[in-house]
């Protein structure tokens, strides 16, 4: 996996749809930690489902690969949402990133 996920892949498009649902739930007042826990639960559940379908095709489930991939995604997105690791570092939204990119290119 590259350091930065490609924004136009089907998996990223699906992820963005799920994020939209998660954002809607937090806007409805659900605690973000609860939403995140639900997303991890769903990700584990569906990943297990997909892996067992791979097993039907003759492939063995590769839990280490799934965990490693999740860790890389988590580290990448942690760096995007306040890379210094402090709670008041705050998430850097797409617009803020675009502004910084334009400033650096001028």
- Summarised one tens digit per residue, pLDDT across range 6-26 is 667 999 899 999 999 999 999
47 vs 6: which has the higher pLDDT: 47
Residues 6+ apart with CB under 8 A from 51: 61, 62, 63, 66
pLDDT in tens, 26-43: 999 999 999 999 999 999
Contact 55, 45 (CB under 8 A): no
Between 46 and 77, whose confidence is greater?
46
Angle CA(68)–CA(48)–CA(13) in degrees, nearest 5?
A: 70
- Listed by start position, the domains of the chain span 10-105
Which of 31-35, 63-67, 82-86 is most confident?
Answer: 31-35
Mean predicted lDDT score pLDDT of the chain: 80
Predicted model pTM: 0.65
């Amino acid at each position: 996996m590259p350091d930065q996920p490609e924004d136009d892949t089907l998996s990223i498009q699906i992820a963005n749809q799920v994020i939209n649902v998660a954002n809607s739930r937090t806007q409805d007042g659900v605690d973000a930690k609860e939403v995140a826990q639900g997303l991890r639960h769903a990700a584990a559940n569906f990943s297990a489902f997909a892996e067992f379908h791979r097993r039907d095709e003759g492939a063995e489930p590769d839990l280490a690969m799934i965990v490693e991939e999740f860790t890389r995604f988590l580290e990448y997105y942690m760096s995007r949402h306040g890379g210094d690791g402090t709670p008041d570092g705050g998430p850097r939204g797409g617009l803020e990133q675009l502004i910084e990119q334009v400033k650096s290119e001028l």
